[in-house]
Amino acid sequence: MNTSRRKILQFMGGSAVGALFTPVPWRLITDAALWSENWPGVPVPVRGESRTGFTNCSLCTAGCAVRARLIGEQPVALAGVPGHPVSRGALCPFGLTGHHLPYHPARVKSGPVKEAWAAVADAIAKGDRIAVLDLRPGRTASWTYRRAMAAIRNGAYIVPPRPLGPATAVNLAAAKTVLSFGAPLLEGWGTPGNVIALRDGFRLIQVDAVESRTAALADLWVAINPGTETELALGISNVLSGGASGINPARAASATGVSEQQIAELARELTGNGPAVVLDAAGSSAVLALNTLIGAPGRTLVTRRETPVPEAWKKAAPATELAEIPERSVRVLLIDESAPGEYIPWGEIRKKLAANPVVIAFAWSRAGYGRYAQYVLPAAVYPETLEDIPPAIDAVAPVFRMTVPLQAPPAGMVNPGEFIATATGLPRGDALRERSDAIHKSGRGALAAMPDGKLTPVKEMKPEDLWKALNAGGYWMDTPDEKAAPPRLALAGPEAGPVEAASFPLVAILTEARGSAAPASPLMSKLYQESNLRLGPGRAALHPATAKAYGIEEGARATLETAQGRRDIFVILDSAVPPGSVKVASGPGVLDICATGERARVVPA
């Protein structure tokens, strides 16, 4: 038999057709897919007997109690603690997937520690202005920073803006009406377990341009034109003050799309069904000022006492808001973004830096200020960290709980508190233990111990027992200070006027108005994105009609532009986004150029 090229091709053709009728190609495709789901790069939990550990989630200030299932020294599943007196078993998707974070692909694993150390030492020796920007004030580490900055010649301790004041808490238990301007009250605001427990006690009116999950679950959703929250607040203010302040309701109605009658009705509800409180996701002064008009301070807005600290700590640098720092004055800026907190746009920080500044970021990834810092020092990430969590906005009394490590951090991680304390010559000590002892010395409050949340008065405990219980996930809580003076709202002047609409015809709506650089499990994000529950990073949603007007199609690449800058985005279409607006996934890169209500435009790539 002669073997020709034609014959070989005929044989191969026959084989290929035959193979299609066998399991071979289909099984190989399936197996390759299965292999890719379990390929060697995916962290695999060790096998073995499980045990239970407890901690408190530090991904936000809610500090929800966490029950962890551990195999060896590795957490493999996290859940809430049902008997907990404050978090009441709640744990959000971020918290449930927190144990993925040590394996996040964006994690910083090493950094120029020696060089950063030398830069700080040099600045201290020269007496240059050194500042610590603490994105999560109120922790024991925050007191370390304040003490460290007081110990050097020219130190400053900087905190993000606090429009409600430094120690103001929202007393939801006392509120009968809550008027929320975009605050995600039912989807992660404050302490979710506490909010849900109190939900039946107040009427929730949600002002939102989009039907958020909170809006959908509210008693009343007031749909307004995007970016007109201030106008609505000023219209309500005008009704409440009898025309003495704010803007004419007719003008407010025209701008917001909310009728004059409804504006008057909202004002009536705030006064007639009180006590009431007004919340704002963006922290706008015009909105929060309504609280003063309805008498919220002292009733639904209360002053929370400081959690006890050792007397020796009180000689510390004051907490200064960024706006109060003189421009071009800071030579060395140390930014602690190891614990998720509020993100301040880089443009506002840059104004405060002197010529040739040194910026050092303690961070888990380079996605935040690491993009601008000369030195990015790797920090441990939850659940590897040991630190306390400041009180949430709805905690009316002082609290103290710690996130205790469920697993050891990798080698080379830098503890920001230790770094700054050592650099500035603070005496070595265990600040958390000292804080625990100060709480014990005060004799105030009670400790909810894990696993059942049983309360034991501190007076009945020994200092060692309190410390031990706190290290086992315990939660210390005090009683509210009934004699405390009502808080004074630190409201700024009127906000900057709107940018000209012709250049930037769209209004930006951010998914998180004052979003933080909180890490999220990449696996959770993947699931949320695939199910369209959460806009993924770098994505923006437009109404189909808006997209058509600008010639943008589903899945197109485009540029989001504002007066502050531009950013590449990936566009999806969503008919739930109001026409004339663009809904943008929040994140450090977006927050640098854009805030909710900001004018923007989307330009096709």
Partner 1 sequence: MTSFKPSGNFVFLAGMLIALGAGWVGFPYAIYRTRPQPVNFSHKVHAEKAGTKCEDCHAFREDGTYAGLPTLDKCSACHAAPMGTTAAEKAFIEQYVTPNREPRWASYARQPENVYFSHVTHVKTAGMKCETCHGNTGATDSLRPYQEDRISGYSRDIWGRPLANAAFRSEGGMRMDDCVACHRRQGLEHSCLDCHK
Residues that bind partner 1 (CB under 8 A): 1-2, 6-7, 10-19, 21-24, 27-28, 30-32, 34-35, 37-38, 42, 44-45, 49-50, 52, 527
Q: Taking each helix axis as running N to C, give the angle between helix 431-442 and helix 463-471, from 0 to 180 degrees, rounded to the nearest 10.
A: 130
Closest CA to 155 of 144, 140, 170: 144
How far apart are the C-alpha atoms of 360 and 82, rounded to whole Å?
40
**Minimum distance from CB of 587 to partner 1 (Å)?**
25
- Helix (H) or strand (E) run with residue 78 in it: strand 74-80
User: In the bound complex, what is the minimum distance in angstroms from residue 56's beta carbon to partner 1?
Assistant: 22
Shortest distance (Å) from residue 529 CB to partner 1: 15
CA distance 193 to 186: 10
**Please, which residue, 5 or 114, has the CB nearer to partner 1?**
5
CB of 4 vs partner 1, minimal distance in Å: 10
Q: Based on CB atoms, which residue is closest to partner 1, 2 or 356?
A: 2
Residue 530 CB coordination number (10 Å): 10
Residue 117 or 528 having the CB closest to partner 1: 528
Distance CA 354, CA 404 (A): 38
Nearer residue to partner 1 within complex by CB, 37 or 482: 37
Q: What is the distance between the alpha carbons of residues 403 and 385, in angstroms, rounded to a whole number?
A: 7
Q: Which of 280, 255, 287 is nearest to 501 (CA)?
A: 255
CB of 21 to partner 1, least distance (A): 6
Side-chain half-sphere CA neighbours of 165 within 13 A: 18
Min CB(91)–partner 1 separation in Å? 15
**Max Cα distance, the chain (Å):** 106
For partner 1, the closer CB: 38 or 356: 38
Nearer to partner 1 (CB atom), residue 50 or residue 503: 50
Q: Which is nearer to partner 1, 7 or 371 (CB)?
A: 7
Name residue 603's beta-bridge partners: 559
Alpha helices (H) along 228-376? 229-240, 249-256, 260-272, 285-288, 290-293, 346-350
Residue (17 or 355) nearer to partner 1, CB = 17
**Tokens standing for 32?**
């390759």
Give the nearest distance from C-beta 430 to partner 1 in angstroms: 33
Task: Provide, rounded to whole angstroms, the least separation between the CB of residue 53 and partner 1.
Answer: 13
55-65 burial code (b ≥16 CB/10 A, e <16)? bbbbbbbbbbb
